Structure 1
């Protein structure tokens, strides 16, 4: 049986947040850009208890918006991919900047990911960087590929021109984006033998790496992934102490065909304790995105981003709910993507949402 609730997802091309019931009926929509002033799009929105939503516009800003679409505050930053709202409504959001790191005495230009911490009132509080402890995991071939691209005369000229114009130099998904961090989840409790409260679970996609970073120690206290996962998204702490993530499987290698899976691992043993795939395996696959949410009844809500499909499965792999995006991409017949869907299973705890018919 499906775990009932209200489902929330971003309709990316229209800059809308849709709340739908279990039958797919739209209960409420919030226009994130009522004045049509913001270039770019938002892939994630999350509700606060008073009915406001926090969202980001990629590489533009993070904002808090009320139930009617009015912006309460904005912070300009190169926000991207993911954020975590803590119980006190403090926001930990991924952002990035052009940077130069020292790698084995070499200056290496990179697009550096980091975390901004923002107060509920929209005030910047601090930056948490994690590139320094990551250096030992960066393979030499990555640096070599980067340098080969950088010293090409045309690319070097572009870099110099952008520097003179004070423009952003490095783009996401370029050779300089060696991290491509895509999820952040802050631990709200001490987990003996693993991590402490306030430590941060981070997915670093382009290194096939998931880490737990300790701001107090300025170092990783746990890491896992290379050789096991490929292009992963949405690593999340679970109540039982495990970690669940979406393993996209973008480069599994010949002769294995690419397929995606959702896995739950025991971080202490580094063993996979639960896995969801389909049959045949390649039937379930998304090159980008991907989301997983453990529901109170034990089921898992899964977003297959690129196909615009969301479904709910039981622990034994039975599908008990499924939703396809009813919208097409602008100007063609392809189904629009769903970056991620989240189910609010306790709507009574949220202002406005508790009043929706569902």
Structure 2
């Protein structure tokens, strides 16, 4: 008698299935989806609505943390350079170090290195590039920073965010330092987070009026910085948000925000949501929450993009899930990143999750006319 042996996939996400999971051609926004596997080696994929890869880039840097298409059709990529030992625990997970512009054939046409760059870098309308970076705050401020896990500073130091505008020639012509504008009494680190960072920015973006929108995860706050003065002229805080990502401006001036939901105030259940916020009233005028709510949750990374037909493309980043919903919340397209690997965290050890993951920081949908070189 021979006993049959059956292989059982032990990675839960992969066992449940990857690739295209749902597609309603009558309601989906037609186009191509761009995503960068966070655990990849520099691969960036463009897939069609059937989930087939129609174009691929292979970049010479690990993702740090994603790429998107510029109006000229080139890829703008945030890459990661290795720093060992890391300057503080888990720095390797989200550090960048290099931004580059790459043509469709993979040729690098522009490249800029900065050792403090992390999470996000974007091309401005004036042709310059804006970078999210880190710096140590003055020693005199360390004792004033509230919250976080006691004793987890970096040799007595705390880092916060700084924004740099860089010319095509690599000259920094404008900087904004978070510690100069944020009040330590008001902006408190979530008590479960370590004190090696105060703000932990994850998004920098340019608004239609030229001002800058920033997202600070560790203090659950989104701010708008007036470009001319550096003053914070708008904010949404932890009474609404919970470790949010990717605030981005809609044509009507509202902000679309992925509200992760980790450590949400006065709510025991962990769930994520995507919200559209009226900037004048700060009212939530649209919201996507799954039913039941805990079916949709990514405690970190993630984002959302409003599509021209009114649908919203959502990246549930921790699980590599990219899906599209209508204005009424109906799911019309879903794709699970099939590319798994351990986290890219050179020099890290105990604080890095083990096992293979398929995380995606952000994904974007592009209409065919936005990628004329593809035809």
TM-score normalised per structure 1: 0.79
The answer on whether the counterparts of 1:130 and 1:218 sit within 8 Å (CA) in structure 2 is: no
Q: Are 2:322 and 1:310 aligned?
A: yes
CA distance in structure 2 between the partners assigned to 1:103 and 1:132 by the alignment: 10
Shift of the alpha carbon at 1:121? 5.1
In structure 2, the residue matched to 1:231 is 243
2:105 is the counterpart of 1:85: no
Classify 1:119/1:46 alpha carbon distance in 2 versus 1 (closer, same or farther; 3 Å).
farther
Contact 2:261 2:272 in 1 (8 A): yes
What secondary structure, in the 3-state scheme, does the structure 1 residue paired with 2:361 have? coil
Structure 2 portions without partners, runs of 5+: 1-26, 81-94, 146-155, 344-353
The residue that corresponds to 2:33 in the other structure is 7
Question: Measured at CA, do residues 302 and 142 of structure 1 come closer, stay the same or move farther in structure 2, by a change above 3 Å?
Answer: closer
Match of 1:71 in 2: 108
Within 5 Å, which residues of 2 pair with 1:323-342?
Answer: 323-330=335-342, 336-342=358-364
**2:37/2:337 contact within 8 Å kept:** no
Whose helix fraction is larger, Structure 1's or Structure 2's? 1
- The secondary structure found in structure 1 opposite 2:118 is coil
Write out aligned runs for 1:107-126 (5 A).
109-120=157-168, 122-126=170-174
Aligned length: 312
How much is the aligned-residue C-alpha RMSD, in angstroms? Answer: 2.7
1:138 Cα shift?
4.2
Aligned equivalent of 2:231:
219
Cα displacement (A) at 1:354: 1.4
Instruction: Quote the residue 2:268 is aligned against.
Output: 256
State whether residues 189 and 199 of structure 2, in contact with CA within 8 Å, keep that contact through their aligned partners in structure 1.
Answer: no
Give 1:102 shift: 4.2
Q: Residues 66 and 264 from structure 1, CA distance in 2 versus in 1: closer, same or farther, beyond 3 angstroms? A: same
Deviation at 1:120, TM superposition (A): 4.0
CA deviation map 1:99-143 (0-9, x unaligned): 32644996983212111212345543332223212125545x759
Deviates more, 1:330-339 or 1:246-255: 330-339
Between the aligned partners of 2:53 and 2:98, the Cα distance in structure 1 is: 27
Asked whether the equivalents of residues 250 and 287 of structure 1 are also in contact (C-alpha less than 8 Å), the reply is yes
CA deviation profile, 1:128-185 (whole Å, cap 9, x unmatched): 223212125545x759x9xxxxxxxxxxxxxxxxxxxxxxxxxxx7412110011122
- Structure 1 unpaired stretches of 5+: 146-172, 189-196
Measured in 1, the distance between the counterparts of 2:260 and 2:194 equals 19
Q: CA deviation at 1:203?
A: 0.9
Between 1:72-81 and 1:217-226, the stretch displaced more is: 72-81
Q: Distance in 1 between matches of 2:53 and 2:195?
A: 40
Matching residue of 1:130: 178
Distance 1:104 1:71, change over 3 A: closer
> Taking CA–CA contacts closer than 8 Å with sequence separation of 6 or more, which of the two structures ends up with the larger relative contact order?
2
Q: Report SS of the residue matched to 1:77.
A: coil
Is the contact made by 1:312 and 1:320 (CA closer than 8 Å) also made in structure 2? yes
What secondary structure, in the 3-state scheme, does the structure 2 residue paired with 1:207 have?
Answer: coil
Asked if the contact 1:61/1:78 (under 8 Å) is kept, the reply is no
SS in 1 for 2:270: coil
**Aligned partners of 1:142 and 1:251: how far apart in 2?**
11
CA distance in 2, matches of 1:334, 1:70: 30
Task: Select which of 19, 25, 29 maps to 2:52.
Answer: 25
**Structure 1 match to 2:153:** none
Once residues 42 and 103 of structure 1 are traced to their aligned partners in structure 2, the CA distance between those partners, rounded to angstroms, is: 29
1:218-248 C-alpha deviation (Å, 9 max, x unpaired): 2111111222111100111111121110000
CA distance in 1, matches of 2:136, 2:100: 22
